[in-house]
Amino acid sequence: MPIGAEIQSGTLSGGGLLPNQDPFGRKYVNNYKALILHGDFQLGAGIDYSSNWFFQIVKGFYAGTGIGLVDNNNKVQRTNVIIANGPLTYIFPGSDKSIDVDIPLRFGYEFKIYNAYDEPGLAIDIGYIHSVVFNSGLDGYNDNRSIFKHNSEDQYRQIVIGVKFNFGNITSYNKPIRNL
């Protein structure tokens, strides 16, 4: 099972100042950075695909998980701006800056590109990542659970297209896997 390191930088946002966007007018923009280590198990590592056309096709599917840290840098609307839903003086608790633990759940398909020696030195990934972030720093709000509904940890999702470079000696994760 190969181990990968991933660096992310991006923007997450949510809520809004209108009642149909958020009933209290909460809004946030998070310019985050993340460092994530993950391992993926590819189906081709666990099946004999040498004489089956269907297994030849599905051998590139993978699933995995890992752990990482997300450095949150939020700009947050902290006061209630919609008078019909409570006092305008209420200040939503939370922090604009935090570092939180991230657990990614990864699924995808890897298209291998072979070099002159029939070794997969490069791969193109198409995948889906669902990240669960522990603590409440992703959106900057840490509302009291007795006042506001808060059923789950902060989460975000990604659809990714990536390029993977395989370094090092031939091992089980980058062995030639063309039809034998």
Phi, psi of 96 (to 5 degrees): -80, -25
State the Cα torsion 55-60-65-66 to the nearest 10°. Answer: 140
The β-bridge partners of 50 are none
Give every strand in the sheet of 97-114, ordered side by side: 3-15, 27-42, 61-76, 97-114, 120-134, 154-165
Q: How is residue 30 written in tokens?
A: 């998070």
| Mean local confidence (pLDDT), 37-61 | 86
Supply the pTM of this predicted model.
0.79
Please report which confidence band the pLDDT of residue 180 belongs to, taking 50, 70 and 90 as the band edges. very low
Residue range(s) defining the domain that contains residue 94: 3-165
In a domain, 37, yes or no: yes
Q: Tokens 């666990």 sit at which residue?
A: 46
Q: Dihedral of CA 43/44/49/53: which sign?
A: positive
Contact 75, 103 (CB under 8 A): no
In a domain, 173, yes or no: no
In a domain, 143, yes or no: yes
In a domain, 177, yes or no: no
> Which among 45, 31, 118, 102 is positioned nearest to 68, based on CA atoms?
102
Total domains, the chain: 1
Contact 154, 137 (CB under 8 A): yes
Contact 100, 133 (CB under 8 A): yes
Contact 44, 63 (CB under 8 A): no
In a domain, 68, yes or no: yes
pLDDT digit string (tens) for 107-116? Answer: 999 998 888 8
pLDDT digit string (tens) for 54-86? Answer: 888 888 899 999 999 999 999 998 888 777 666
In a domain, 42, yes or no: yes
Q: How is residue 131 written in tokens?
A: 């990240």
In a domain, 176, yes or no: no
Chain centroid to CA 118: 32
In a domain, 140, yes or no: yes
